């Protein structure tokens, strides 16, 4: 497990994992695959402020996970949105759990309190993974997106990272 390096090799490998989710699934609401340059800029933008981790074996990235800002308003600063993608050919081998273990530990150390997973629904494997990891099912927002000629729901799931104290502080570590 390591933080992402912002180089063309990491970006390319991460984009290669993401591409089939765009082209073949409703896991992401993105219609077209971003260019390598666009995708690299996204990684830079996110990793400048939040942890962005890759799971690597024999110099090959097999999955990645990152936290991002949940909302622009200041009161949300203790809340993050999590994203995780594991190569579809090797899911179910503990890579997602290892990524979330490292990501959530990093976020806990920084003082974040709440993590949301916003999942397209139905997406039984992702919903089961998040439930098993300890996320609570909060809400289903019906017909929130449209892709592949059908309306798609989204499910909000929540994980408490730290206690909800009266004087919370963040200690950003990157």
158 C-beta neighbours (distance < 10 Å), count: 17
Which tens digit of pLDDT belongs to each residue from 77-123?
Answer: 999 999 999 999 999 999 999 999 999 999 999 999 999 999 999 99
In-domain check, residue 170: no
In-domain check, residue 174: no
Contact criterion met (CB below 8 Å) for 141 and 156: yes
Look up the domain containing 149 and give its range: 2-160
In-domain check, residue 72: yes
**pLDDT (0 to 100) of residue 31:** 98
Cα separation, 127 vs 99, in Å, equals 16
In this prediction, residue 5 has a pLDDT band, given cuts at 50, 70 and 90, of low
In-domain check, residue 172: no
How far is Cα of residue 79 from the mean position of the Cα atoms in its chain? 13
Query: How many domains does the structure of the chain reveal?
Result: 1
In-domain check, residue 168: no
Burial label for 65, CB within 10 Å (0-12, 13-18, 19+), is: buried
Contact criterion met (CB below 8 Å) for 130 and 157: yes
Which tens digit of pLDDT belongs to each residue from 8-18?
Answer: 689 999 999 99
Average pLDDT over residues 56-60: 93
Contact criterion met (CB below 8 Å) for 50 and 27: no
**Mean of all residue pLDDT scores within the chain:** 94
In-domain check, residue 63: yes
3-state helix, strand, coil in the chain (%, to 5): 35, 35, 30
Cα separation, 27 vs 14, in Å, equals 16
CATH number, domain of 33, equals 3.40.630.30
In this prediction, residue 171 has a pLDDT band, given cuts at 50, 70 and 90, of confident
In-domain check, residue 171: no
Residue 30 makes CB contacts below 8 A (sequence gap 6+) with: 22
């Amino acid at each position: 497990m390591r933080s992402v390096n912002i180089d063309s090799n990491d970006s390319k490998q991460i984009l290669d994992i993401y591409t089939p989710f765009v082209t073949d699934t409703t896991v992401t609401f993105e219609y077209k695959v971003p260019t390598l340059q666009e995708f690299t800029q996204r990684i830079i933008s996110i990793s400048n402020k939040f942890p962005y981790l890759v799971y690597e074996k024999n110099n090959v990235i097999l999955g990645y996970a990152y936290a991002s800002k949940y909302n622009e308003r200041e009161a949300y600063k203790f809340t993050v949105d999590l994203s995780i993608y594991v190569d579809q050919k090797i899911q179910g081998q503990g890579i997602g759990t290892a990524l979330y273990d490292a990501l959530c530990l990093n976020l806990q150390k920084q003082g974040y309190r709440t993590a949301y997973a916003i999942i397209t629904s139905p997406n039984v494997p992702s919903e089961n993974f998040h439930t098993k990891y300890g996320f609570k099912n909060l809400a289903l927002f019906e017909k929130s997106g449209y892709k592949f000629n059908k309306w798609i729901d989204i499910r909000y799931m929540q994980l408490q990272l730290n206690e909800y104290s009266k004087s919370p502080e963040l200690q950003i570590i990157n």
